[in-house]
Amino acid sequence: MTIERFIQLWTHRYHKYTHIAKAHLKGRNARAHFRGVKRRLKKGQELIGIIRTEHFGDIVAAEPISRYVREQYPDAHIVWFVKPGFAELVSHNPNVDEVFKEFCVTERRVLLEGNVFDKVFELQFRNNNHCPKCQVFTENPVALQRDINVLNYFDYGNLLEVFAQTGDLIPPKAAFPADDQPRLYLQPSHKAKVDSLGLREKYIVMHCRSNYEPKDWPAERWNQLVHWLAERYDYQLVEIGLESNLNVKTPAYRNLCGQLSILETAEVIRRASFFIGLDSGPSHLGNATGAFGIILMGALNNFLNYNPYSGRYGREENALLVRQAGLPCAQLPFEFVQEQVRSVLEKSADNAPRVLS
């Protein structure tokens, strides 16, 4: 072994075991905290945990569960477990009493081993219960028993229904039994931020790049679509997301990628005339805020025809799911997507006098 390899090995081990030690300490501290919370509860009042830590579209899709659990346990102290980067999605939810910002799954395991919570509804399965630093997975016994995993989960329904099943809130392959429309709880600060952007009164918001390449549509076709929209319609075209990969040359286009928080992005989507995007987190923001969605979708891994949405997007009351049987999103022809977008925009009464060419 070379000295460089020796240093790399022990540096890795140092960071790994330091992380694990920190996770155990934080887990014990969290256990002490929630024991204190439980002592302060009224007699008969239950301490309930809901675990949905990632990703942000999944957390938005799972929001109706917070209302459902509150209806079932009106007096409970409800704690939502979430990764810190997504905490804003649940911190303003009136059905959640406390947000636990999870350090890693090892911390959660140490916490839950103390049996402090009266009930725990785990809304995820193995692939979302992984800490790469600890190099461990945590299993969800309900998901194991029901054979729900990353290879077959859409066989059990939309995301909300899958999460409710993995949490043992509803029977296997059952429909969600309550209001299934996701909601967001936007605050004045989010509205003030978007006010400061100076967006035009009428704009289309676009999300052109997901965090999972098989869900994407090629950048050159997005470029075509943006230029066609700019030439034909009198809308500002606003791109949101983490990072743009477009090369757009039109004054109608504005790039807001990487400039907004999740809920600030949601407020931009809420105000838009239309949302055009992919099957990814921002499309769930569109569903929750009421923006009409034009969602580019396709066959995904084992799922040739799936629908991740509940509520109005799921029923296609407020969305058009753009796809062709058997094709992945990347293979959707530009002309097909163009015609689908045209069919939506030109049904809008607002567009009749605004067609420029």
pLDDT grade for 9, boundaries at 50, 70 and 90: low
**Residues of the chain with pLDDT > 70: what percent?**
96
Q: For every residue of the chain, which 3-state class applies, written as one string? A: CCHHHHHHHHHHHHHHHHHHHHHHHHHHHHHHHHHHHHHHCCCCCCEEEEECCCCHHHHHHCHHHHHHHHHHCCCCEEEEEECHHHCHHHHCCCCCCEEEECCCHHHHHHHHCCCCCCEEEECCCHHHCEECCCCEECCCHHHHHHCCCCCCHHHHCCHHHHHHHHCCCCCCCCCCCCCCCCCCCCCHHHHHHHHCCCCCCCEEEECCCCCCHHHCCCHHHHHHHHHHHHHHECCEEEECCCCCCCCCCCCCEEECCCCCCHHHHHHHHHHCCEEEEECCHHHHHHHHHCCCEEEECCCECCECCCCCCCHHHHCCCCEEEECCCCCCHHHCCHHHHHHHHHHHHCCCHHHHHHECC
Q: Is the pLDDT of residue 356 over 90?
A: no
Q: Per residue in 288-340, pLDDT tens? A: 999 999 999 999 988 999 999 999 999 999 999 999 999 999 999 999 999 99
Domains and CATH numbers, the chain: 3-166 (3.40.50), 188-354 (3.40.50.2000)
Q: Is the pLDDT of residue 7 over 90?
A: no
Mean pLDDT of the chain: 94
Q: Per residue in 170-191, pLDDT tens? A: 999 999 999 999 999 999 999 9
Of residues 272 and 351, more confidence is placed in 272
- The predicted pLDDT at position 73 comes to 98
Q: Is the pLDDT of residue 350 over 80?
A: no
Q: Per residue in 258-283, pLDDT tens? A: 999 999 999 999 999 999 999 999 99
Q: Per residue in 126-177, pLDDT tens? A: 888 999 999 888 999 999 999 999 999 999 999 999 999 999 999 999 999 9
